[in-house]
Amino acid sequence: MNTNRLYPHIGQELRFRRRAVLTLLTLCLCFIVIRQLAGSTVESSHAIEIVAEISGPEPSGIVVARDGRIFLGFPRHAIDHKKATLAEYKDGKLIPFPNAAMSLPSDVQAADRLVSVHGMTMDSEGRLWLIDDGKTAGRPIPPGGAKVVGFDIETGNVVGKALLAPSALLPDSHMNDLRVDLTHGAKGVAYISDSSFGTSSALVVVDLETGKARRVLASNPSTRAEPGFMAFFQGRPLVYDPRRPSFPVGGADGITLSADSKRLYWTTLTGRRLYSIATDLLADARVSDEKLAAAVVDEGERPACDGLATDRSNRIYFGAFEQDSIVRRNPDGRFDLVAHDPRIVWPDGLFTADTYLYVTLGQANRQPGFNDGLDLRRPPYLVVRVRIDDAVR
C-alpha cells in the first residue's frame, strides 16, 4: 500500500525533513571546510611579521645590519620615481642614504651618484654593497650609471666603487643582483647577475681592487631565459614571450654565495633550475669561459623565483612567487616550506640575519608593462621577516 496516496501530508513532511537534514549536513560540511581554511590562513599569516609598510616606490634590494638597521633599494628602471633610490628605514620613515645628494635624482654625473639601486648585500666585514643598474625608465644607461658601490654604514663613506665598462656592460644589460666575496682578490670580488632587459644575460665578475670587470657564461644555458617557460600568476598560466612579456622575465637573476664563499649559486628569472660553480674558478681571470662552462653544476629543480639568500647553515632560500611562499633548500637537497601567505606577492630581495629571513614584496608582476597598461599594484608594499627555524615540514 502506498501511504503517500492515503496520507499525502506524511510524504510531504518526510521529503521536507530529508531536505532539511541534507541542508544541515551541507552547512556543517561547509562550516568545517571554512574553519580548516581559516585555520590554515591564520597559521600561515602568523609565520610572517610585517617590518615595514611603504606607500611607494616599490622596494627591491634589502640589507639588515648586525645592529638591526634596515637598508632598502628602490630601482628606477621600470618607473622613474623621484624619491630616494637607497634609503635606511628608521622609525617608520625612509631616510636617503648615505645622503639626499647621492640618493635623490639630480643633475650630478651618473658616476658620482646613485641612479637606480637594485640588488644589495653585506660583506663579511659588515659593509653594504649594491649594484646600481644605472637605468631610468625610457632612457639608455648613461656612462658611469651602472656600477658596484660599497659603503661603510657607520660613516656613509664610499669604501669601494667600480664603474662597469662596455666590455662587461651591454646596451640592454640589467645588472640585477650581486654578492661580494672577500676570500678572493686583494679587496674582494663581486659577482653580478645581468638578467638583461633584452636577451643578453650573463654573469659579471668584478675585481674590487682594480675595478676590472669581465662578462662570463654569456652563451651558457645556465644564464639564459628558458625557452617556452610557463609560469602561473594569480591563477593565470603565462608563457614566456621576449617580444611581449606578460610577467617579469630574464636570465641570470637570483644569486647567492655558500656560507664559506666557496661556491656561487644562481638562478634565472625565467626558469626552474639552480646552478652553482666554484668561486676558485670564477674569481680567477685566467680561467677561460669554456672551462667555466664545463665547471657549472646543475643543482636540480627549484621554485620559480626572483631573489636568493643563504643562511649560516648553508641553506638556500627562494621567493616562490607562483605559490605566495618562501621555500628553503637544505644542503642534502630536501626542501622545506618556510612560509605561505597570500600577502607574499612577488618576493624580491631576500636577506638572512641571525634567526630571521627578511623579504621585500614589490608586486613587480602587477606593473602596467605586464598588464596591457593597467596598474594592478596595491600599496602599501611590504617588507616582512620570517623566523627561519620555524619551517613547516
191 or 390, which is more confident = 191
pLDDT digits 0-9 by tens, 69-119: 999 999 999 999 999 999 999 999 999 999 999 999 999 999 999 999 999
pLDDT digits 0-9 by tens, 53-76: 999 999 999 999 999 999 999 999
Q: How far apart are CA 182 and CA 81, in angstroms?
A: 34
Residue length, the chain? 393
* All residues at 6 or more sequence positions from 279 whose CB lies less than 8 Å from its CB, including other chains: 181, 183, 184, 189, 191, 257, 261, 262, 263, 264
CA within 13 Å, CB half, 69? 16
Strand partners, 341: none
**pTM, entire model:** 0.87
Report whether 71 contacts 52 (CB < 8 A): no
Q: Which of 49, 53, 48, 95 is nearest to 71 (CA)?
A: 95
Q: How far apart are CA 319 and CA 26, in angstroms?
A: 38
Of the listed ranges 191-195, 225-229, 368-372, the one predicted with least confidence = 368-372
159 or 47, which is more confident = 159
3-state SS, residue 204 = strand
Q: Which of 49, 52, 61, 57 is nearest to 348 (CA)?
A: 61
Q: Indicate the pLDDT class of residue 369, thresholds 50, 70 and 90.
A: confident
The alpha-helical segments, DSSP class H, found in the chain are: 3-6, 8-45, 100-103, 279-282, 289-295
Distances (CA, A) of 288 to 17, 55, 297: 82, 47, 16
pLDDT confidence of residue 34: 31
Report whether 78 contacts 369 (CB < 8 A): yes
pLDDT confidence of residue 393: 53
All three cell numbers of 57: 616606490
DSSP 392: B
